[in-house]
Amino acid sequence: MSTRFRLHLENGRLRNELFHLTHEQWAQAAARHPELAKQIDVSVGWDGDILENALQDADALLAGPIDRPKIIAAKKLRWLHTTGAGVDHLLPLDWLPEQITVTNSSGIHGDKTEDFISMALLMLHNKMPQILANQTKQVWDMIHEFNIRGKTATVIGFGDVGRAAGLGAKRLGMKVIAVTRSGAAQPLADETISVSQLDSVLPRTNYLIVAAPLTADTRGLITDARIASLPKGAGLINIGRSPIVDYAAVIKYLASKQLDGAILDVFDKEPLEPSSPLWTTPNLIVTPHISCDAPDYVQRVLDCWFANFAKLTTTGQLDNKINRQLGY
């Protein structure tokens, strides 16, 4: 590129510090990418304090929080990169000027997700929610279970996170059914179906794993009726977005023992409010949105961004582009 590249990093102070894009974090990543970093002028802002001025000459914005009016007014801005994989907070994208390409941080979550799903499946299969509840009541109840090998996990959404979830199940010797928009065959999965065929596999699903992005098509996908169609004693794990799943139905079917257990990692409002009935629902484990994120999260985001910047400088193209119509 013939001219210097201007990048602005935007933060929210209320976000967990794991996601803070600081000067110190930038310096660590720049040391790994020195030739690329020397082409870039970087500014760092917090809660919009310098955002308006920074966007007057910024070529790219790497951000957690999004200020739509200021982004719309940024005439030079051509690239918006999000710190997460999901972009549901930006949808629908009809507000975004056409000249701005949106990319996400897809691809940085796989190893953590794979471990989390293996753990979650084993916890549900071995009745750990019940055992932990018994411990608090000082109840000695010897619960025994067969090996999880050979059970079926159906994974809703089979992008980077969904494939990692599938790997987490496969390492346990499980059968994996992938559910995708198109139904195109996935090499990792034993079987792949389209979303339109979902109802046909639920009655033979031992563990339903939700790993899809939140879009107009996935919102409300896992309904009361669909949870009811799982075999008695099934388990449910949600690491996608909470509006995809009817949580009231999860509570109901845990109470009726149609569901044997559930692990929920995502919620409409985070932190989960103290008054939420999810905290005290029997056989439900609440995890505080930790399924896919590692302690070096920001460094992973920055490495992802640098790799994309390298592609931009050599080919003029970007990876991880969000499809404006599909929303992922």
Indicate if 110-286 has the same CATH topology as 5-108+294-315. Answer: yes
pLDDT tens for the chain, residues 1 to 328: 448 999 999 999 999 999 999 999 999 999 999 999 999 999 999 999 999 999 999 999 999 999 999 999 999 999 999 999 999 999 999 999 999 999 999 999 999 999 999 999 999 999 999 999 999 999 999 999 999 999 999 999 999 999 999 999 999 999 999 999 999 999 999 999 999 999 999 999 999 999 999 999 999 999 999 999 999 999 999 999 999 999 999 999 999 999 999 999 999 999 999 999 999 999 999 999 999 999 999 999 999 999 999 999 999 999 999 999 999 9
Helix (H), strand (E), coil (C) string for 54-85 = HCCCCCEEEECCCCHHHHHCCCCCCEEEECCC
**The domain over range 110-286 is classified in CATH as 3.40.50.720:** yes
**Domain extent listing, the chain:** 5-108+294-315, 110-286
Fold of 5-108+294-315: Rossmann fold (3.40.50)
